[in-house]
Structure 1
Amino acid sequence: TPRGELMIYLVSDGTKVPYRVKFRVPSFANLSIFSHLARGQLLADVLAILGSLDMVIPEVDR
């Protein structure tokens, strides 16, 4: 994806249906550094920093 790496963890037990599937989307990884970037900044700057991370909020909610 253009925002970073999309990671998929897939475990099969030999049937047609996966035993376990997990997704780690780039927006979730980018959100983890937000508290470090926003520390000590003004509110207006925090909004600009959040916008610069180019996150898709519904993607974070997985």
Structure 2
Amino acid sequence: PYRLKVRPPCFAIYQSFVEQVTGGQVADVIAILGSQNLIAGELDR
């Protein structure tokens, strides 16, 4: 039996949010959040 630690894909996407928003406009933040398809249950782990 092997032990694996699996991270959900939305965790890496959420970490890159600051880089995606930097240099953009405030109105773009909502569009970027909507396009990331974040699932709160995966981030709570």
TM superposition score normalised by structure 1? 0.58
Q: Which amino acid aligns with 1:46?
A: V
Gaps in structure 1 of 5+ consecutive residues: 1-8, 11-20
Larger RCO (CA under 8 A, 6+ residues apart): 2
Residue from 4, 8, 22 that aligns with 1:39: 22
1:26 aligns with 2:41: no
Q: Which has the higher strand share?
A: 1
Q: How many residues align?
A: 44
Q: Which has the higher helix share?
A: 2
TM superposition score normalised by structure 2? 0.73
Post-superposition shift, 1:32? 1.4
In the alignment, what sits opposite 2:40?
Answer: 57
Alignment RMSD? 1.8
* Identical counterparts, % of pairs: 43
